[in-house]
Copies of this chain bind each other. A is one copy, B any other.
């Protein structure tokens, strides 16, 4: 069985998720398209990298990510570092002919994204962005129903992504609140997941009108490099630094195919943890999904007999997308891990079968341009057409 050597750049929470996926993907998808080998991991310090290698099961480690790019053994470069490093690493990796798997959002800006897209296009390497939520089996099932025409022509999409891990002003100033590192705030971090799903299920964006807000304008500065996602409270006489990105972005959408929609993304939605939801109204039915109850897809078919019509709560399992590979009965349960395992499989499959991965850097670039339109709309208080170039 073919093997693909992976170099993982980054050693935080996302490294755990990706390492888990590489280690277990063939256990689920068997025969696997290829077996990923955890070859080398990079962290900022030699000591950190050494620990990461032991923890995440990599053969080698380095504190210099360029070593990975230069390593002829490496087939896949996987980027799980903060957003400010994506472009540099990805472009170098593309030039070195590596396939690239990159965490979302693609980069800080659409300019960076464009260069990354051009680099992978020129290099002819496979590339994928880790918008993992579209790979939740229930979301893939929604896609299937839509493609089968089960809910008819789509009229309306309403998406939300609500979190509260940083709703407390005493949660730390992680890099996610700093424009120089993150590029965007909530819009880039979680809003892009909903944009990805909207494009996946409905189609390309045409115009947007938006509001963006920053509710907590300064936060306590944390020591060290660990990104605790705000679950730590820093109280007392801590030093604070400015937040220069958005806490919340809300916008309405006109899709190119005539459908309309709205997206609300916030990190100040107390009580909502990972409340990624969408509701889609079609001419013949509706679909509702809430990631917090991710085993379930709710679907309404208007052509059911009138006294038997109601949203069906479908628990995904072997009868649904990816189901054969996962657990043998529904509701044994999909966790975050499973979404990454599926993602890993699909990317490796795209390499082996030499087909485009999805969503790829082009999708990431387009999402970046949509974000540009959202930001512009908020600043100029008007509808803005997304400029995808020619």
**Residues of chain A whose beta carbon lies under 8 Å from any beta carbon of chain B:** 1, 13, 16, 19-20, 23-24, 26-28, 30, 32, 35, 54-57, 141, 144, 151, 155-156, 158, 160, 162-165, 167-168, 209, 211, 213, 215, 228-229, 231, 248, 250-252, 254, 260, 262, 264, 266, 268-275, 279, 281-286, 288, 291-302, 304, 306-315, 317-320, 327-339, 381-383
Residues of B within 8 A of A333 (CB): 274, 291-292, 294, 334-336, 339
Residues of B within 8 A of A156 (CB): 248, 250, 264, 266, 268-269
Residues of B within 8 A of A314 (CB): 307-310
Closest to A332 in B: B336
Closest to A274 in B: B331
Closest to A285 in B: B270
> A-side binding surface: helix, strand, loop or mixed?
mixed
Q: Separation in Å of the A20 CB from the closest CB of chain B?
A: 5
8 nearest A-B residue pairs (beta carbon): A335-B335, A271-B300, A273-B331, A310-B314, A310-B312, A274-B331, A273-B330, A332-B336
Q: Judging by beta carbons under 8 Å apart, are B250 and A270 in contact?
A: no
Q: Judging by beta carbons under 8 Å apart, are B302 and A270 in contact?
A: yes
Residues of B within 8 A of A274 (CB): 329-333
Task: Give Cα A10 to B301, complex, Å.
Answer: 36
Residues of B within 8 A of A275 (CB): 331
